[in-house]
Amino acid sequence: MVYKIGLLYGDAIGPEITKATEVIMKAAVKKAEVECEFPVFPMGWEGIQKYGDPVPEVTKEGLKDVHGWVFAPHDSAAYPKEQFEKLNPSGTMRHYFDLYSNMRPARTYPGVPSHVGEADVVVFRENSEGFLPDRNMYRGYGEFMPTPDMVISTSVVTRRATERIAHEALKCAMRRKKHLTIVHKANVVKMAGEMFRSTTKQIAAEFYPEVRIDDFHIDAMTAHLVRHLQDFDVILCSNLFGDIVSDLAGELTGSLGLGPGINTNDRQCMAQAAHGSAPDIAGKNIANPTGLMLSASMMFDWLAQRYRDDKLEKVSKLMENGILDTMKEGYVTPDLRGKATCSSYAEAIARKIENA
What mean pLDDT comes out for the span 302-310? 97
204 and 287 together in one domain: no
59 and 93 together in one domain: yes
135 and 240 together in one domain: yes
Percent of the chain with pLDDT over 90: 92
Q: Is 140 helix (H, G, I), strand (E, B) or coil?
A: coil
156 and 246 together in one domain: yes
Q: Which of 185, 218, 253 is the last residue of a domain?
A: 253
Would you say 133 and 91 are in contact if contact means Cβ atoms under 8 Å apart?
Answer: no
Segment (H or E) for 10: none
Q: Is 71 helix (H, G, I), strand (E, B) or coil?
A: strand
Concatenating the DSSP letter of every residue in 290-315 gives HHHHHHHHHHHHHHHHHHT-HHHHHH
Give the CB-side neighbour count of residue 23, counting CA atoms within 13 A.
21
Domain extent for 242: 114-253
pLDDT digits (tens, 9 = 90+) for 182-236: 999 999 999 999 999 999 999 999 999 999 999 999 999 999 999 999 999 999 9
pLDDT digits (tens, 9 = 90+) for 320-343: 999 999 999 999 999 999 999 999
pLDDT digits (tens, 9 = 90+) for 137-151: 877 788 889 999 999
**pLDDT value at position 336?**
95
**pLDDT value at position 106?**
96
Q: Given pLDDT bands bounded at 50, 70 and 90, which one contains residue 7?
A: very high
Q: Which of 194, 228, 253 is the last residue of a domain?
A: 253
Provide the mean pLDDT of the chain. 96
269 and 317 together in one domain: yes
331 and 228 together in one domain: no
Which CATH number fits the domain that encloses residue 224? 3.40.718.10
In angstroms, the CA 133 to CA 160 distance is 19
Give 132's contacts (C-beta < 8 A, 6+ positions apart): 142, 239, 240, 243
**pLDDT value at position 4?**
98
**pLDDT value at position 285?**
98
User: 283 in the Ramachandran plot: left (φ > 0), alpha (ψ -120 to 50) or beta?
Assistant: left
87 and 123 together in one domain: no
Concatenating the DSSP letter of every residue in 236-261 gives EE-HHHHHHHHHHHHHHTT-GGG---
189 and 242 together in one domain: yes
236 and 301 together in one domain: no
Would you say 211 and 178 are in contact if contact means Cβ atoms under 8 Å apart?
Answer: yes
In angstroms, the CA 138 to CA 128 distance is 10
Closest among 207, 180, 203 to 123, alpha carbons compared? 180
**pLDDT value at position 257?**
86
206 and 122 together in one domain: yes
Q: Which amino acid is at 253?
A: T
What mean pLDDT comes out for the span 237-251? 95
Q: Which of 253, 270, 288 is the last residue of a domain?
A: 253
End-to-end CA distance of the chain: 24
208 and 281 together in one domain: no
Q: How many domains does the chain have?
A: 2
Q: Given pLDDT bands bounded at 50, 70 and 90, which one contains residue 271?
A: very high
218 and 284 together in one domain: no
